[in-house]
Amino acid sequence: MSRVENIYVVTKRLIVMTALALAAATAIFAVSLLLGERLMLTHLAFTCGIIGGFVSIQQRLKTVSDDELALLARSWFQIVLIPIFGGVFALVLYCLFLSGIISGHIFPQFTMPDPPAGGPDTQFMIDVLMKTYPSTGPDVAKLLFWSFVAGFSERFVPQIVTRVSSSVEERKSKDGP
């Protein structure tokens, strides 16, 4: 197959997989509304990360080597793998936001349930997962944007994790054992 034909095949597969990801996100949203449950933002963050991964692949198609392009054209698995990593990175970033490890005016702020007086329990952990939401509309937009970035820039979240790990290691070596 020629380079142009490979790009065409990969682009078709990206369109199909992006449509399936959006359909799955829509289905999850619809089911949660029909059941009267609140939507867990982890689904939206994961979906935005996946879409960011698909867009990233599409943006890089013109610059990948012929061998990489041929691999992408032959394998659905290779096309899905990068976006799945993007979704996972979006969830890791979501956890970094919730923990406060990453914070600032360009990052989302969250409203979380207060822990019970006796300390955290199983119900509290369920409440954290089900009742933690961005504090404002702009915070929702920030979460979705950063989730997309986590999928689009596959080095973004691993670099943050590496910096946080290095910072902890430095602090441990300064403070002693």
Per-residue pLDDT of the chain (177 residues; tens, 9 = 90+): 788 898 888 889 888 888 888 888 888 778 877 776 666 678 888 889 999 998 998 888 888 888 888 888 888 888 888 889 999 999 999 999 998 999 999 999 999 888 888 877 888 888 887 788 899 999 999 999 999 999 999 889 999 999 988 888 888 777 766
Nearest alpha carbon to residue 94 among 43, 29, 18? 43
d(CA 47, CA 37): 19
Q: Phi/psi zone of residue 104: left (φ > 0), alpha (ψ -120 to 50 degrees), beta?
A: left
d(CA 26, CA 23): 5
pLDDT of residue 90: 95
Nearest alpha carbon to residue 76 among 140, 9, 176? 9
As given in the structure block, the two tokens for residue 63 are: 């610059």
pLDDT of residue 37: 62
- Side-chain-side CA neighbours of 104 within 13 Å: the count stands at 4
pLDDT of residue 146: 96
pLDDT of residue 177: 61
Nearest alpha carbon to residue 129 among 20, 6, 30, 42? 42
Q: Is 165 exposed, middle or buried (0-12, 13-18, 19+ CB in 10 A)?
A: exposed
